Structure 1
Amino acid sequence: MKKAMVHPWLELLLATQFFTTCRNHLLSNRNDCNLFCIDCEAPPAAFCYYCRSHHHLTHRVIQIRRSSYHDVVRVSEVEDILDISDVQTYVINGSSVVFLNERPQLRGCVSSCKALSSSSYSCETCGRALLDQFRFCSLGCNVKGIKQDMEMPAKAENGSECGGNEDVTSGNIVGSTSENNTGPSTMTEKKKFNENNEEVPPAKRVARHRRKGIPQRAPFF
């Protein structure tokens, strides 16, 4: 993945709960909070159609839609402001969309097992089977992948520093052992002197041969 930054408004978008009833327009027809403003980071993040006409008329606003009880956004609304090249796209009601967050998977479902076995692509974050060659199934998984890629260089640097310290420590240990090994050899090489300061020749070693004992024979009966 190429280096990318996580936009603050994107994390706010993923954490926002949509399709709630607007408190300011309870009696209105279009009072579902399914709009999000990219330029505003102050709550409430989700607002309705009437709030947009009053407070976000000149701002960049995207509309959140629903597909099987999950939030999606059209590709045409976010492709110019967000890099979604690694996210799986789906065609719903004739429009290309991407899911906002990870969808729960039923591990014991037979259909999901068939999908996992038939598909050769899967999400790098949650493992969901993908239709095409993408890395993530949703914007939320894409954000987690970006953060993991950003943490990898820091972990690599910390690992290299720890490895360098270990090398230095091992080098010191090896050096100390070598010095200790040279100590006894230098002591044995020292020559011995008597009281008159005369060199005493080293004692000769006499080779002793072991004599065989008298063999004992078994008595005759």
Structure 2
Amino acid sequence: MQTAAVRGAPQWLRGLLSEEFFDACAAHPGERKNDKNHFCVDCAAALCRHCLPHDPAHDVLQIWKYASCFVVRVDDLKLFDCTGIQSHTVSDHEVVFLNERTARKRSASAENPCAACARPLPSGHNYCSLFCKVKHLGESEQEQGLRRALRANRQAAAGGGEEAEPQNGKRRASSETGPSCGGSFRKRSRKQPEPARSPFC
């Protein structure tokens, strides 16, 4: 089971690798094009297009399909170092597969097998997917490698900022910045203050 294999990963990464994308969104059953093809990193939840925008401060990834598999753009995945994962170019964007691929024959004796699933890879790559890198690094060096691959926060990923994410991988409650993905995405009605009355003469 994939969730067990990536047990040492933070919640958002476990959710990203175990989610079934492109299923119909339960929150918007009557809407057209309600397939869940987005993922909120802050809430570790899959979203459809009608769930957006919910909180502009949250980091949302768009999930794509390539060769019948889920892929994500490398440029969008700011909180994880994708170095060593075999990438593919789709519509001028570099993408990586989320989950290990099973269609091709695996062979540990191949010239350059995937370090996690032994799928043959082109030279210069160590993993066939994000899942395989997370699984392999989580199993080696008492998860030190996985911690190194995880970027502390989006400020650090962007090259600035000093604030680090807590060591347990949990983020601060999203109530500080706005409604979470689990709640309603409708705009809250604001109470209008009562107009000030003019003093009686």
User: Which TM-score applies when normalising by structure 2?
Assistant: 0.61
Partner SS, residue 16 of structure 2: helix
Superposed CA deviations along residues 56-89 of structure 1, whole A, max 9, x for unmatched, are 33311001100121100011101x3211112111
Partner SS, residue 85 of structure 2: coil
User: Which of 137, 140, 144 is 1:146 aligned to?
Assistant: 137
Aligned to 2:65: 66
| Unaligned residue ranges in structure 1 (runs of 5+) | 154-221
CA pair 152-11 structure 1, distance change in 2 beyond 3 A: closer
CA pair 26-88 structure 1, distance change in 2 beyond 3 A: same
* Structure 1 residue 149 displacement after superposition: 1.1
Higher relative contact order at CA 8 Å, sep ≥6: structure 1 or structure 2?
2
The Cα RMSD (Å) is 2.5
**CA distance in structure 1 between the aligned counterparts of 2:11 and 2:27, rounded to whole angstroms:** 26
* Structure 1 residue 106 displacement after superposition: 4.7
Q: How does 1:107-118 map to 2 (within 5 A)?
A: 107=105
The residue type equivalent to 1:73 in the other structure is V
Q: Say whether 1:135 aligns with 2:126.
A: yes
Q: Say whether 1:14 aligns with 2:17.
A: yes
- As a proportion of its length, which structure holds more helix? 1
Count of aligned residue pairs for this structure pair? 137
**CA distance in structure 2 between the aligned counterparts of 1:120 and 1:94, rounded to whole angstroms:** 29
| Unaligned residue ranges in structure 2 (runs of 5+) | 1-7, 145-201
User: Which TM-score applies when normalising by structure 1?
Assistant: 0.55
**CA distance in structure 2 between the aligned counterparts of 1:24 and 1:145, rounded to whole angstroms:** 35
Q: How does 1:204-215 map to 2 (within 5 A)?
A: none
Higher-Rg structure is 1
* Structure 1 residue 152 displacement after superposition: 8.7
**Percent identity between the two aligned chains:** 35
Partner SS, residue 145 of structure 1: helix
Aligned to 1:52: 52
CA pair 40-152 structure 1, distance change in 2 beyond 3 A: closer
**CA distance in structure 1 between the aligned counterparts of 2:143 and 2:19, rounded to whole angstroms:** 28
